Amino acid sequence: MEKIHGNTLESVMKNMSDQTLLQIGIETGHYIKQLRQIKLPQMNKIGSFSTKQMFLGGTIEDGPTLGPFSTVKEYIIEHLQWSIQRIQTDEQLLQSTDGHLVVSLQKIIDHAKTDVNLSSVEMQLHLTHTDLNSSNILVNENTGQILAILDWESCAMTFINNDLEFYSRWFENDQEEKQFFSQKYTQYYTF
């Protein structure tokens, strides 16, 4: 296996022009669009799944179950239950909310379990990377060409469009740059 030589976008983006970052964003958008066109078995399942031929997604050691889920309702309830468990095992977080957050989340779960409208929610599912931050994009520092997209272990079938707003994670600490990029990006590329 040949090693790809490049740098993570995170490590070089401060030295790149806005135009180069926009080019990388548009190219990333094209890759996302290609991902969405891939048809897989169990396309109707949310999250991770495995078949004899493949394993999609992964597990998060300290996170919620990644699936597969047959319904949006199952997905929401599982993630809310995990959130409660996480809060209850984090003493500082539990104290900072005085337990009110756990009570509120449990009420939402109870409502979700009986909500007939939530049972019938259908959403179009797409294959997504789910962690498309700037540390997972390998680029040529001089040309801005994307050389590789890394860390595919958490890819999944999901209705959450988190890969669409990948650039928001590129500029987490710079709201002005984030807004500039968002405006420019949407002029060039829409899904």
What is the per-residue pLDDT across 4-18, written as a single tens digit (0 to 9) for each? Answer: 889 999 899 889 888
The H or E element that residue 180 is part of is: helix 175-188
- pLDDT above 80 (res 62): no
Asked if residues 101 and 107 have their Cβ atoms less than 8 Å apart, the reply is no
C-beta of residue 189 within 8 angstroms of C-beta of residue 34? no
β 55-56/156-158 pair status: unpaired
What tokens were used for 1?
């296996």
Describe the chain by its helix, strand, coil percentages, rounded to 5.
Answer: 50, 10, 40
pTM confidence score? 0.65
What separation in angstroms does the CA of 55 have from each of 13, 17, 191? 33, 38, 27
Parallel/antiparallel/unpaired status of strands 7-8 and 49-50 = unpaired
Closest CA to 125 of 65, 64, 38: 38
pLDDT of residue 34: 84
pLDDT tops 90 at residue 52:
no
Q: Where in the chain is the domain with CATH 1.10.510?
A: 7-47+124-188
Q: Give the SS3 label for residue 7.
A: strand
Q: Which CATH class is domain 7-47+124-188?
A: mainly alpha
Query: Where would I find the beta strands (DSSP E) of 131-181?
Result: 137-139, 146-149, 156-158
> Which tens digits make up the pLDDT trace of 125-180?
777 787 788 888 999 999 999 999 998 877 777 765 656 666 666 666 677 777 77
H-run or E-run covering 55: strand 55-56
Query: 56: how many CB neighbours lie within 10 A of its CB?
Result: 22
